Amino acid sequence: MRRDRAFTLVELLVVIGIIALLISILLPALQSARRAAETVKCASSLREIGMAMASYVNDNKGWACPAKTASNYSISYTNWAKKPPLTYNGQQYWFNFLSKYTTRTAVGAAVTTAQDRAAARASLLWGCPAWTGYVDNGYTGGINYSQTGYGFNAFPEYTASYPAKNVLLGDSGFTQIPGDPNAISVVNTADSWATISTGRWYKWSKYGIQGQERALVSDCIFWLLEAMSPVPTNGWPYPGENSGYNKQNTWTADGQTLYDVYRHGKYPTVNTTPAYTFKIPGGKISYNVLFCDGHVSNLIDYESGYRAARMRFPG
């Protein structure tokens, strides 16, 4: 009778080696495919955010939502599927105003329960699968749920010559527009909104100027879209630890930018000094931007994002 022959140790090692070789060959392709899928899903979410903005503008007589209210502003959720009903009165971000059109739960600072946090992060307002959120132990669950991974353009009146290239919104060097002090879409009040003390709401027509070129919402490490010079001189901001925006003192004044430029590409090595920055050069640039006319582009260089935010090329 014929005896069945078992595999020898050498044969097993050869098979294991072949499998390992195939994995090493296929893994980069699988990772690339996953990144491409995440880029497409993110772009789809941004397009829907653009449609939500259009709905908001239509319902509010041509007014766009502000980037943020710096004082309490009541938004009611009573007509949504929340039980019991909630009316949240606090600081509101742009995504709070748009959430009516995109999700059935509260978003941002209005989030109060673990169920709400899960629902908020599953919504298109947190729609980039490549964004995991800031690790922040100051928030229940360890994630800063006011940072959705997308930033909003708070100043639609940028021109090719105004303001200066190295001036941040709200800086002491931010030259005010004559007759329109604090003309930035981060609004505040000292008298329960009878009078706006700083900032302003903008008509959508302001954003519509050069709408094919002007960024509205983009992959960002903060809720605000901002761009200074095309390349920070001492490291690109690192998203992931607390609020990266609060680490801006570790960046040079002409290097401030909040685009998450490596999100859909490849992140470079992290610097030890200055902290919370990536080394330059390095990595692969790829990030999504929703423009004011509703189209979404995947950008692969610093300069295009700078132009979309500041309406001019760097320099």
Q: What is the pLDDT along the chain (315 residues), one digit of tens a residue?
A: 555 666 687 778 888 888 888 877 777 766 777 888 999 999 999 999 999 999 999 999 999 999 999 899 988 766 555 556 667 888 999 999 998 888 877 788 777 777 778 888 888 999 999 998 877 767 766 778 788 999 999 988 888 877 776 666 655 555 555 445 557 888 889 898 988 888 889 999 999 888 899 999 999 988 989 887 777 777 787 776 544 444 444 445 556 688 999 999 999 988 877 777 788 888 999 999 999 999 999 999 989 999 999 888 876
The token pair that represents 246 in the structure block:
């609060």
d(CA 84, CA 34): 39
pTM for this prediction: 0.85
The token pair that represents 82 in the structure block:
């929340």
The token pair that represents 250 in the structure block:
């570790």
d(CA 247, CA 301): 23
CB 80 within 8 A of CB 168: no
Among 280, 152, 269, smallest CA distance to 220 is for 152
Tell me the residue type at 256: Q
Residue 293's Cβ-count burial label (10 Å; 0-12, 13-18, 19+) is middle
Residue in the block written with tokens 């599927």: 81
